[in-house]
Amino acid sequence: MTAMTRSTALSAEHEELRATVEAFAREEVAPVIGDLYERGEFPYDIVAKMGRMGLFGLPFPEEHGGMGGDYFALCLALEELARVDSSVAITLEAGVSLGAMPIHRFGSEEQKKTWLPRLCSGEALGAFGLTEPGGGSDAGATRTTARLEGGEWVVNGSKCFITNSGTDITALVTVTAVTGERPDGRPEISAILIPSGTPGFTVGKKYSKVGWNASDTRELAFDDVRVPEANLVGERGRGYAQFLRILDEGRIAIAALSVGLAQGCVDESLRYAAEREAFGSAIGGYQAIQFKIAEMEARTHTARLAYYDAAARMLAGEPFKKEAAIAKLVASNAAMDNSRDATQVFGGYGFMNEYPVGRFYRDAKILEIGEGTSEVQKMLIARELGLPA
């Protein structure tokens, strides 16, 4: 969808932001990201530029160093970045919705004053430690523990697949941990902020991943890690409920990122179909290619409408859990399907790393897994429809 037709659905301010990020992705990210991706290098220069643009502070108030925008603005930025590269997009998404948002939503005023200005500027990154090696989708089965001892939390356990957790500018990770037992016998789960470099806090080596190779993903270990009691984020025992809220919002952001990848597949396929000739004419003139690209565009358009709707409901203060799950499910499916079809349009060249569609294909699969698998989204939708848990 062109910028002109898309702008009709956006306010002037949102369209200006979208166009600015689109130009940044095309001019600053596209020329360098391929090499960084293949070398598995974190894009520090790009992140610094995004910080200066204010992208990390988009949905946060100016009093805490933010831009005073809204969550939809973040989603628009993520879509435009992911049209070019998902490693850069997920670095922004995780830094904002997982790293800074828990502090903004649930943190004390002191925590906000201490951490949000640095996180909003992009000078520092935050991470969110939820997933554990034996947990996966069963986040309620948290085994990491934290006990109060002499006015300090003593944290023990491990987390896995944590984005932005081991870069040179990572400043903190907020982890979920069992801090006691509820009256009904279930574990009491709380969220605790742990600054980078705290003794006993070990960051593992970078994973060798199928995709998102220019982003940072690691395993974390906590061995008698001590932090002040004041590092509790939100209310004790509300960590599980807090992260459910964070994940609901994050699913809209991941849907936006997925739409960007799906749109990037359309962009690249249109360009290639006009240039590539077979049997004496451009392949874009063959109905088989036309139909494939038409289906790709239809998927992208539908997924975009889904995340727009979920974001609008969220910003209006309306229930949005079901709509966020629908958006994430539909958009991640679109990204996966479009990346496969775009690779097919490119034929043998689609299997070569010099073309972006190969990178898109590698990046798409995680979108059906991260921040809630497709199966979890279906479960959430069913429950919201009133079907039994």
Each domain of the chain, given as residue ranges in start order, spans 3-125, 127-236, 241-384
pLDDT, position 139: 64
Q: What is the mean pLDDT of residues 123-141?
A: 84
Q: For residue 141, what pLDDT band results from cuts at 50, 70 and 90?
A: confident
Average pLDDT (243-263) is: 96
Task: pLDDT band for 251, please (50, 70, 90 cuts).
Answer: very high
For the chain, give the percent of residues with pLDDT over 90. Answer: 90
Contacts of 75 (CB under 8 A, 6+ apart): 252, 253, 255, 256, 307, 311
Please say if the pLDDT value at position 2 is more than 80: no
Rounded CA-CA distance 232/234 in Å is 6
What's the confidence (pLDDT) of residue 4?
32
Q: Which amino acid is at 68?
A: G
Choose the catalytic residue: 22, 79, 219, 371: 371
Q: For residue range 14-64, what is the model confidence (pLDDT) as tens digits?
A: 999 999 999 999 999 999 999 999 999 999 999 999 999 999 999 999 999
Active site residue 384: no
* 5 has pLDDT over 50: no
Q: Is the pLDDT of residue 254 over 90?
A: yes
pLDDT value at residue 367: 98
pLDDT at 200 over 60: yes
pLDDT bucket at 353, cuts 50 / 70 / 90: confident
Which of 207, 257, 250 shows the shortest CA–CA distance to 42?
207
Across 164-245, where does the E strand assignment appear? Answer: 170-181, 187-195, 201-206, 217-228, 232-233
pLDDT recorded at residue 137: 63
Q: 353 or 115: whose pLDDT is higher?
A: 115
Residue 346 has pLDDT above 50, yes or no: yes
Going by pLDDT thresholds of 50, 70 and 90, the confidence category of residue 8 is very low
pLDDT score of 109 more than 70: yes
Average pLDDT over every residue of 185-208? 96
pTM: 0.94
Angle between helices 356-364 and 86-93 (to 10 degrees): 40
Position 389 scores a pLDDT of: 82
Checking DSSP bridges between strand 152-163 and strand 145-149, what pairing results, if any? antiparallel
Determine the CATH number of domain 3-125.
1.10.540.10
At 9, the pLDDT band (50, 70, 90 cuts) reads: confident
- In the CATH scheme, what is the code of domain 241-384? 1.20.140.10
Superfamily of domain 127-236: Butyryl-CoA Dehydrogenase, subunit A, domain 2 (2.40.110.10)
Classify burial at 209, counting beta carbons within 10 Å of its beta carbon; exposed 0-12, middle 13-18, buried 19 or more.
Answer: middle
Mean pLDDT of the chain: 94
Mean pLDDT of 266-276: 96
